[in-house]
Amino acid sequence: MQSYDLIVCGAGPAGAMAAATAARKGLKVALLEKCPLPRHKTCGGGTPMVMQDFLYNLVPEAFVESDVLYMRHTWNFADPFLGAINPSETDRRFSLWMVQRSLFDHALVHQAWQAGSQVFDGVAVRSVEVDADQVRVNAQIVKSNGGLSKGSEFTATARYLIGADGANGLTAKAANLRQHRTIALGMEVEFPHQWGTGHPDLRPDVLHLEYGAVQRGYAWVFPKADHLNVGAGIFSLRQGDIRSSHQAREALQKAIFTYLETLQLQYDPTRMKFHAHPLPTWCGREPLHTGDGRILLVGDAAGLINPLFGDGILPAVKSGTIAATCVAEGTTSTYSDRIHAEFASSFDAARRLANLFYQYPHFFYRYGVKYEKSTRLATRLIAGDIQFNNILGRTLLKVGKSMVQDLLPPWMGFVYR
């Protein structure tokens, strides 16, 4: 039995950042991870360059494989539009970093270890029990083949616990939190690629997005150092879990195959290895800590995935920092309010926009995505430089006016303008 000020379950970006922040503030921290590190994590691996603001002394060269400056948008793999993140008239440079989660997450865990956290990998949490003044975690050691080692147990207690164990973790269940969730579905392949082959627009600084191939979703191609992350996702904004839908999985696989063909890439379908992953998207304000303030949820476990874009790495890092700060300050009873203050207004607006975007994607593609400033706007939204609630009204007005002008006879459109 070991005792800590804080136990963090899950060593993804949210958990690693929480552990590092708490340790830097003088707390005794245990960071538990089910898989041996470094471990594979299914994820597109795109994050805005403002991530650097949260990484202390960790340099981008340690984990960034590609620096994206352009987005190539298509509708049904046609009607392409290459949008620049930094048009010539802009004064502040933005970009999107492409990372492999195995390297990125491990770098964050190393930071947490350097800050003083005790890191335990290959430890699967089996139960979480809350007493009057502490939280008890019971875990088992994971064998090299992924099974649990009988008789090899890990038990620890702490004043607080941060649940960073993702959509499938047991912390939220043990804390009786997030009982009504919205789970979208993503699927991807890691496709080996040699730069200079395939479609001319396959470049390390270009991210590809396709909007017509997947109903209520989109497909993507993210450039990495020696491969492409090719994937697709379906966003259901209703409460529930679409992972069990066989039809959804077939649609995502078809979109991925078609993307490879469109980009002139040769592949053997029998050797393709698909990775599916849940996307617990934001579904509104809800309690993210227990009534006694002992357990706090962060990252995917807290449902902090953008309901329009599906990104979640930066929100995970931010939430881990906020949670650890609350623990260190003894203000865990304010945690949910602080998360809502950081995300709710923007994500609520993103959810409203997503409902319309995925219902009328072709209209939004023609009158929104292909607008010359939209690529930069999307990047600024992902980076948190502007909030969705600040642009929702203007976006809907612009798209609406463009639709009306396109539907009216030419002379009426002239009068309308």
Q: What is the pLDDT of residues 114-140, one digit of tens each?
A: 999 999 999 999 999 998 889 999 999
The mean pLDDT of the chain is 92
**DSSP conformational letter for 131:** -
What CATH fold (topology level) applies to the domain 2-66+98-178+283-346? FAD/NAD(P)-binding domain (3.50.50)
What angle separates helix 388-407 from helix 335-357, to the nearest 10 degrees? 10
Helix axes 335-357, 313-329, angle to 10 degrees: 160
What confidence tier does 415 reach under pLDDT thresholds 50, 70, 90? very low
**Band (24; pLDDT cuts 50, 70, 90):** very high
| Buried-state track 185-203, b at ≥16 Cβ within 10 A, e below 16 | bbbbbbbebeeeebeeebb
Map out the domains of the chain as residue ranges.
2-66+98-178+283-346, 182-280, 360-416
Q: pLDDT, tens digit, for every residue of 269-316?
A: 999 999 999 999 999 999 999 999 999 999 999 999 999 999 999 999
Higher pLDDT among residues 61 and 197, named by residue: 197
Closest CA to 37 of 117, 134, 123: 123
- 305 forms beta bridges with 281
C-alpha to C-alpha distances, 100 to 85, 245, 275, 277, 287, nearest whole angstrom: 22, 28, 14, 15, 32
Residue 410 has pLDDT above 60, yes or no: no
pLDDT higher than threshold 80 for residue 237? no
Decide whether 2-66+98-178+283-346 matches 182-280 in CATH topology: no
Q: How far is Cα 312 from Cα 18, in angstroms, rounded to an integer?
A: 15
Across 18-32, 291-305, 391-405, least confident range: 391-405
Phi, psi of 130, deg, nearest 5? -110, 125
* Helix (H), strand (E) counts: the chain: 10, 18
The structural architecture, per CATH, of the domain 182-280 is: 2-Layer Sandwich (3.30)
Q: With a cut of 50, say whether residue 12 has pLDDT above it.
A: yes
396 vs 402: CA distance, rounded Å: 10
DSSP letter assigned to residue 49 = G
- Asked if residue 254 has pLDDT above 60, the reply is yes
Q: Where are the alpha helices (DSSP H) in 119-207?
A: 171-174
Q: What burial letters (b/e) apply to 361-377, b meaning 16+ CB within 10 Å? A: bebbbbbbbbbeebbbb
Over residues 191-220, mean pLDDT? 97
pLDDT tens, position by position, 148-168: 666 568 899 999 999 999 999
- Residues 356-364 have a mean pLDDT of 94
Average pLDDT over residues 191-207: 97
